[in-house]
Structure 1
Amino acid sequence: MSWLFGVKRDGGGGPPTDMPPPPGDGSAGGGGGNPNEPEKSRSDAYRFDSAALERAAKAARELESSRNAKEALELSKLQEMTRHSELVAKAKEYEAHIEQMKLDSKRVEGDERRKTLQEETKQHQMRAQYQDQLARKRNEDQLLQQSRANDENLRRQEESVAKQESMRKSTIEHEMELRHRNEMRRLEAELSAKAKIDRENQDLTLEQIRLKAAENRTTVLESIKTAGSVLGAGFQAFLQDWDKVIVAAGGVSLLALGVYTARGATGVGARYIESRLGKPSLVRETSRFSVLEAFKHPVNTVKRLKLKPQDALSGVVLSPKLEERLRDVAIATKNTKHNKGMYRNILMHGPPGTGKTMFAKKLAMHSGMDFAIMTGGDVAPMGKEGVTAVHKVFDWANTSRRGLLLFMDEADAFLRKRSSEAISEDLRAMLNAFLYRTGEQSNKFMLVLASNTPEQFDWAINDRLDEMVEFGLPGLAERERLVRLYFDKFVLQPASEGKRRLKVAEMDYSALCSKIAKMTQGMSGRGISKLGVAWQAAAYASEDGVLTEKMIMERVEDAVKQHQQKEQWLSAQERREFKTGGYHSQKDDQAAPNTSSAAPV
């Protein structure tokens, strides 16, 4: 193995490898010197190594004589070219690195400029905010100073007015005192002068009094004598003439008979007018025509006369099963009226606000009958007059030509069990009168009772009932229909008319109604109708009159909280009664097939 120009050459003719030449021995290379001898090392560094040249010359001779000399030279060229290309690549990589550094520098410069602009903008905003705060504080100080000045001026004005009022009051009091003194002085002078005159004329006054008394006494005595003589002569002549006595007795008898007859006829006529044209005191509302109501409300009377029979279920939202049952009741009532048959008595029970009163009115209008509404709470306070009032109601009902639907709301307040200790004797007598008048079926009137707690009815009242209908709380589908109905009635229609200060913002109407229906679980139809009024009021209370979805949901959340609070106020007994009566709201809005629900519109 030999070395040629720092390239190791294998003696067997193999390809040379790029390896550094081995270090010289201790005598030639100086590599084995002692590092503790610096002077010797420095002299070895400048020493010429002739052995290396000899080895190079020897290697050159061997290479020339070798058959692989040409390949070695080509390999050396290729190695040089490879190194050159690597150097060029490194140079280009260095240039690319320089360009990347320039780009990074520009990007950093841009970031710094952007940060500088942001900082300047922030400083400008802070300066503007500070100036705005200073301006606001200056305005507040000015307003405060102006308010203090106004208060001071007002206080001074009030003090001035109070001072003037005090001066005026003192002046008036002084004038009144002076006037009183003058009046007292004048009265004293007049009284003293009158007393002096009376003392001087006392004898003349007494003489005048004696003369007037004697003259009056003489006149009275003469009048008595004249009247006695005239009456005695007349009575004596009357007794002597029997014809005059008989005529006088007959006249007195006829006068007494006329007075008694007129009194009786007046009472009978009054009762007839009251039963035909008047309205009993227990009836709160009626569609029956009366002269007194016509004079009080002529427009409503004309409108009522123009009403035509309509569908009994129009405007009432209820479950399909209950709707089918009530429609059968309406058809049966209408046909009974047309065929002059006997009416059936109905009990409608359920929680408040589920449409019992509304359906009763619709039923009367559908069948062409008159309706009259009374409440059980009005009967008990009447006391001893209650029995007469109950009879007057039924007498008035029997005089109806079209037939009368007598609807009693809150019937449990009147028709309680007679065995209860809480019921009074007067109320028991009124209940007996009611049972007497409803003991048989009638073709003149139809009795419809409504109650939240029908279990309190007397057993005889239950015997009078022909059919019972339960009005439950609306389910999910009914609540959604109610929400849509009231939203259209109280919001969309007034907004579309353009006559009110009411507008509606853009919103997903269908999704909103479905969401509200899910939130209002357990609420009655009346409670949902109050939501429509609350939405309208919210729009009127806003600045621009625009009803937004946020305002709607706020009112719904408030209504739900209030409903929950009302349920908490119910006593344990009331909750148990509602649950046993089937009026509690179901947790699952997918009601069973036999569940009914209704709500008024």
Structure 2
Amino acid sequence: MFGGGRKDNKDDGKSLSSVVTPENPPANKKGGSNLTGFDPEGLERAAKAARELDASKNAGAAIELIKTQEVTKQHEAASKRAEMEAYSQQQRSTNIEREGEEARKTLEAQTQHERHRAEYMDELERKRQVDMLNAQKYMQEEQLKKQEEMVARQEQMRRKTAEHEASLKTKMELARAQAEADGRIRQERENHDLILDKLKQEAIERRDTVLKSIKDAGTMLGEGLQSYLDDTNKLRNTALTVTGIAIGVYTARTSIGVTGRFIEARLGKPSLVRETSRFSLGQLARQPIPTTKRLIGIGTQEKDALKGIVLRPDLDSQLTKIAVSTANTKKNKAPFRHLLLHGAPGTGKTMFARNLAHHSGLDFAILTGGDIAPLGRDAVTELHKLFDWAKTSRRGLMLFIDEADAFLQNRETTKISEDQRNALNAFLFRTGTESNQFMMVYASNQPAQFDPALLDRVDEMVEFELPGVEERRQMIAMYIDKYLIKPPGWAKAVVTDGIGPAEIEMAVQMTDGFSGRSISKLAIAWQAAAYGTDGAILDKDSFFKTVEHHKQSMSVKDNWLLEAEQRARILTLDA
């Protein structure tokens, strides 16, 4: 039984070995599975296996095993089919992506080609336009050249015609003048005898008249002189009268000259002085009320030398010390120190000189350096008159020379005339020693041009710079109060519309580079803009437009000054 069983098992093994399984694939590969993975030979194998199993004792178990194997086979086939479908789907997705990438590359290539083509067409169009413009320009130049040639020919023809007309006219004038001259000559020749007879008769009559007049005058003078010489008293009185007249004329001329020089030195004003605080008869006649007020207030002094002047704190302190020192120098009758005020125009140099004179109790006189050069040879005489006049001041005199560099230039580097050199030498002679009678204050925008001898006479130099932010803020507030809110005289106050601290602060920032004089003129311009409206109203728009206009004007002036400096530098290099 057991052996039979084993035999059966062998047979079964043989029969089972012939069954197709995934681990035991069929030997015949030709009948492969179709696209879906289904193998039709499996049914044949199954049928054959079924017949063999029917003959076996373990047919039922084998059938179950075969079913299980077949189910497994079907599951594996289904799994492979799913894998194949996933692979096919992946291949389709890959193909789609590849086709999309190829389409994108193709589109980019087409776009680039179209761009290159458009650029090329644009370049061709530009070249065509340039060629067309060049052709038009050439045609216009040719046409203009032809017009110029035509105008030149017409002008030449007109000139030739005018010359021909002038030649004809000249010939006609000459012919007419010749005919008139010939007629006069012919007439003079025909009347020659009559004219000679007439002239002879007139000459005879004139000679007889003159001889008779001389004879009568000689007879009268002789008789009068004989009568005068015979009278001794008349001769003596005549001699005394002539002597007295001569003595009176000489005495009057001398006394008048002395008196005139005394009056000119004491009460007059030298021609070089533009303005002075000293009393003069001419000034009293021209301005009686202001002169009288000043004479009444001669003993009063200004307490603040920097009144009305806004400066930097360090400069303010320096000038205050100078004012106090000058006042004490006058009180102690010590020699005065000479000052040089230099800096940009409109920074307060002249204002400080005036206030310094009032504060120290000195008289002041203002002259400009440009007035000396035109005097020529008379400059030396006028300078001596100026310093003689300065020494006659009982209170002491502050002599302020504005634009001093125009006269006191360096003799070594600047070409000056002999008269200017003599005037400079005379000025240096009169200012070479210390004096308690007058004080020199020089003001200049270009102190580097001064002669070294003059710089040696300067005891202290003060630089006036352009105002900073805080100084501009104070100046704008001061001038707004002076010209807009409380204008002088009978002027109408200005109504500000929309102008507050923020607008004023903005104006402070916009006026960077303005001098004190420029800010003063800006305030006057604000006043003028307000007076140009009904009710004297200054609004925000006009306020800032005026500032912009002044900034543009300052820019134009700076350009002019720069060009003038460049031209002067070029002329200096050429020289």
Q: Counterparts in 2 of 1:514-525, with a 5 A limit?
A: 514-525=505-516
Structure 1 residues 220, 427: CA separation in 2 closer, same or farther (over 3 Å shift)? closer
Which of 355, 358, 362 is residue 365 of structure 1 equivalent to? 358
1:23 aligned residue: none
Which residue does 2:454 correspond to in 1?
461
Letter in 2 for 1:567: D
Deviations along 1:200-223, one digit per CA (max 9) or x if unpaired, are: xxxxxx9xxx9xx99999898567
Q: Matches of residues 102-181 of structure 1 in structure 2 within 5 Å?
A: none
Task: State the 1:248 CA deviation.
Answer: 5.7
Q: 1:479 to 1:244 in 2, by over 3 A?
A: same
**Contact 1:501–1:540 under 8 Å retained in 2:** no
- When residues 514 and 214 of structure 1 are mapped into structure 2, their CA distance, relative to the original with a 3 A threshold, is closer
1:257-283 C-alpha deviation (Å, 9 max, x unpaired): 332232222212111111111111111
Separation in 2, partners of 1:328, 1:354:
19
- Residue 488 (str. 1) matches residue 481 (str. 2): yes
CA distance in 2, matches of 1:572, 1:234: 83
What is the SS of the residue equivalent to 2:486?
A: helix
1:305 aligned partner? 295
1:22-61 mapped onto 2 (5 Å cutoff) = none
Partner of 1:402: 395
Return closer, same or farther for 1:423/1:230 CA change in 2, 3 Å cut-off.
Answer: closer
Question: Which one-letter code corresponds to 1:531 in the other structure?
Answer: L
SS at match of 2:546: helix
Match of 1:425 among 400, 412, 418: 418
Is residue 228–residue 235 contact of structure 2 (8 Å, CA) maintained in 1? no
TM-aligned CA deviation for residue 420 of structure 1: 3.8
The answer (yes or no) to whether the contact 1:480–1:517 under 8 Å persists in 2 is: yes
Corresponding residue for 1:257?
Answer: 247
The answer on 1:334 being equivalent to 2:327 is: yes
CA drift at 1:246? 7.2
Code of the aligned partner of 1:231: L
State how many pairs are aligned.
Answer: 362
Residues 12-41 of structure 1 show CA distances to partners (whole Å, capped at 9, x for unaligned) of xxxxxxxxxxxxxxxxxxxxxxxxxxxxxx
CA apart distance, 1:463: 1.2
Deviation at 1:249, TM superposition (A): 5.1
1:537 aligns with 2:528: yes
State the Cα distance separating 1:334 from its structure 2 match.
0.7
2:376 partner SS: helix
Structure 1 equivalent of residue 271 of structure 2:
281
Q: Is 1:507 aligned to 2:493, yes or no?
A: no
Once the two structures are TM-superposed, the CA of residue 472 in structure 1 deviates from its matched residue by 0.6
CA-based RMSD of the aligned residues comes to 3.1
Q: Which amino acid aligns with 2:376?
A: G
For normalisation by structure 2, the TM-score amounts to 0.58
Distance (Å, rounded) in 2 between the aligned partners of 1:515 and 1:218: 100
1-structure distance, mates of 2:511, 2:212: 99
2:397 and 2:469 mapped to 1: Cα distance? Answer: 36
Letter aligned with residue 486 of structure 2: Q
Asked if structure 2 preserves the Cα contact closer than 8 Å seen for 1:439 and 1:464, the reply is yes
Q: What is the aligned counterpart of 1:232 among 221, 226, 240?
A: 226
* Aligned with 2:339 (options 332, 346, 351): 346
Compared with structure 1, are the counterparts of its residues 214 and 548 closer, same or farther at alpha carbon in structure 2 (3 Å cutoff)? closer
Whether the 8 Å CA contact 2:485–2:493 is kept in 1: the answer is: no
Structure 2 residue identity aligned to 1:278? G
Larger relative contact order, structure 1 or 2 (CA cutoff 8 Å, min sep 6): 1
Which residue matches 1:168?
A: none
Distance 2:560 2:552 in 1: 13
How far does residue 481 in structure 1 lie from its aligned partner after superposition? 0.7
Shift of 1:387: 1.0
Distance of 2:414 and 2:402 partners within structure 1: 23
Question: 2:552 aligns to what?
Answer: 561
Instruction: Name the amino acid aligned to 2:525.
Output: A
Which secondary structure does the structure 2 equivalent of 1:299 belong to? Answer: helix
Are the structure 2 counterparts of residues 230 and 322 from structure 1 closer, same or farther at C-alpha, using a change threshold of 3 Å?
Answer: closer
Q: Indicate yes or no: 2:543 matched with 1:552.
A: yes
Contact 2:486 2:493 survives alignment (8 Å) = no
The Cα of 1:304 is off from its aligned counterpart by: 2.1
Is the CA contact (8 Å cut-off) linking 1:346 and 1:467 kept in structure 2? yes
Equivalent residues in 2 for 1:218-229 (5 A)? Answer: 224-225=218-219, 227-229=221-223
Secondary structure at the aligned position of 1:259 is classed as helix
Conservation of the 8 A alpha-carbon contact between 1:373 and 1:409 = yes
- Rounded Cα–Cα distance in structure 2 between residues aligned with 1:501 and 1:457: 46
Distance 1:439 1:454 in 2: 19
CA deviation map 1:367-409 (0-9, x unaligned) = 1111110000111111111111111111111111111110000
Q: Equivalent residue of 2:341, what SS?
A: strand
Gaps in structure 1 of 5+ consecutive residues: 1-205, 578-601
- Please tell me the residue identity of whatever aligns with 2:257: G
| Deviation of the 1:233 alpha carbon | 4.9
Amino acid in the other structure paired with 2:512: Q
Offset, 1:341 = 1.5
Q: Could you tell me which amino acid in structure 2 is paired with residue 300 of structure 1?
A: P
Please show how residues 200-215 of structure 1 align to structure 2 within 5 Å. none
Task: Report Cα offsets for 1:327-383 as digits up to 9, x if no partner.
Answer: 111011111111222111100000100000000000001111111100001111111
Partner Cα separation in structure 2 for residue 285 and residue 316 of structure 1? 21
State the secondary structure of the residue aligned to 1:418.
coil
- Residue 244 of structure 1 and its aligned partner are, at CA, apart by 8.0
Shift of residue 501, structure 1, vs aligned partner: 6.6
Give SS of 2:425's match: helix
> Is the Cα–Cα contact under 8 Å of residues 484 and 493 in structure 2 kept in the other structure?
no
Taking a change above 3 Å as real, the CA distance of residues 487 and 383 of structure 1, as seen in their structure-2 partners, is: same
What is the alpha-carbon distance in structure 2 between the residues aligned to residue 463 and residue 397 of structure 1?
Answer: 22
The letter for the 2-side match of 1:538 is A
Q: d(CA) in 2 for partners of 1:215 and 1:432?
A: 68
Q: SS at the partner of 2:377?
A: helix
CA distance in 2, matches of 1:542, 1:410: 39
Distance 2:477 2:209 in 1: 99
Distance in 2, matches of 1:294 and 1:362, equals 22
Pairwise CA distance, 1:302: 2.1
Deviation (angstroms), 1:317: 0.1
For the pair 1:325 / 2:315, whether they are aligned, the reply is: no
Aligned-residue identity in percent: 48
Which of 374, 377, 380 is the equivalent residue of 1:384? 377
Secondary structure of 1:479's match? Answer: helix
CA contact (8 A) 2:428 2:453 kept: yes
Amino acid at match of 2:517: R
Measured in 2, the distance between the counterparts of 1:527 and 1:377 equals 23
The corresponding residue for 1:26 is none
Runs (4+) of structure 1 exceeding 6 A deviation are: 213-220, 243-247
Aligned pair partner of 2:258 in 263, 268, 271: 268
